[in-house]
Amino acid sequence: MTCSGRTTSLLCGPDGGRGREAEAQASDLRRPWPWPARDRGRPGADGVAGQGGVFQTPSQVAEEHISGNQRIRVGGLVEEGSVQKEAGTQVRFEITDLANRVPVTYSGILPDLFREGQGIVVEGHLQGGVLVADQVLAKHDEKYMPPEVADALKQSGRWQHMKDSMEQAGQMPPGASTAGTSPTKASPTGAAQ
């Protein structure tokens, strides 16, 4: 894994020495996951996805009018403090790009990596402003360590969990890190074409 050049991963870490702007540019050059096989060529999905993403940011969802029967995929962070377990496997939470939020309901088994502040992708339909999800995907990063080591890192102040999850999410919603500045960057290799 290299920390320079076009193939830069946004998971390179804070010592990569690049600002949010550069990261956003890099993210535009990369193909977002999940692989957009199901959405490709389907009318509607491409138009909404825009900006080179097969998932939308909560800001995009807020800006654009999306009809109820349209299937959408939203990427972002699980809002801190928003997760509410309800009856059975029903769970309610909000997904955010730190600028806008979309409420989500999901019924099913959440991935183990699902937690507040974690970058996720949610797929489902909008019903009255609430995203009724039928799939929730969480991404794991390349770090493996025992809980005690993680605790020690947190105590010593070297822990950058939130920053890392944001970078992880920065890899996911292209607009998250540029929200408020210039959310519409040109995407030469965008999957929207």
Partner 1 sequence: MDDGNEMSEAGPVVRDRPGERWGGRWNVFNRYANPTRFMQLSAKLVPWFAGATVLLMAAGLYFALFASPPDYQQGESVRIMYVHVPAAWMAMFCYTSMAVASAIGLIWRHPVAEMTAKATAPIGACFTFLALVTGSLWGKPMWGTWWVWDARLTSVLVLFFLYLGYMALENAFDDPARGTRAAGILALVGFVNVPIIKFSVDWWNTLHQPASVVRMGGPTIDSSMLIPLLVMAGAFTCYYFWVVLVRVRGEIIASRIRGLRLRQVHG
Q: Which of 51, 57, 59, 171 binds partner 1 (CB under 8 A)?
A: 171
> Per rule CB under 8 A, is residue 89 in the interface with partner 1?
no
Q: Which of 72, 40, 25, 26 is nearest to 191 (CA)?
A: 40
Tokens of 110: 């959440």
Q: Which of 148, 158, 186, 188 binds partner 1 (CB under 8 A)?
A: 148
Q: Is the CB of 25 or the CB of 62 nearer to partner 1?
A: 25
Q: To the nearest whole angstrom, how small is the minimum distance from the Cβ of residue 149 to partner 1?
A: 5
Q: Is the CB of 21 or the CB of 151 nearer to partner 1?
A: 151
Encoded amino acid at 84, one letter:
Q
Is residue 77 a contact partner of residue 96, using CB atoms and an 8 Å limit? yes
Q: To the nearest whole angstrom, how small is the minimum distance from the Cβ of residue 127 to partner 1?
A: 21
Is residue 162 a contact partner of residue 117, using CB atoms and an 8 Å limit? yes
Number of residues that bind partner 1 (CB under 8 A): 38
77-116 per-residue burial string, b: 16 or more CB within 10 A, e: under 16: bbbeeebeeeeeeebebbbbbbbbbbebbbeeebeeebee
Segment contacting partner 1 by CB under 8 A, of 83-91, 93-101, 143-151, 180-188: 143-151
The contact set with partner 1 (CB under 8 A) reads 1-3, 7, 9, 11, 27, 30-35, 37, 109-114, 135-151, 171
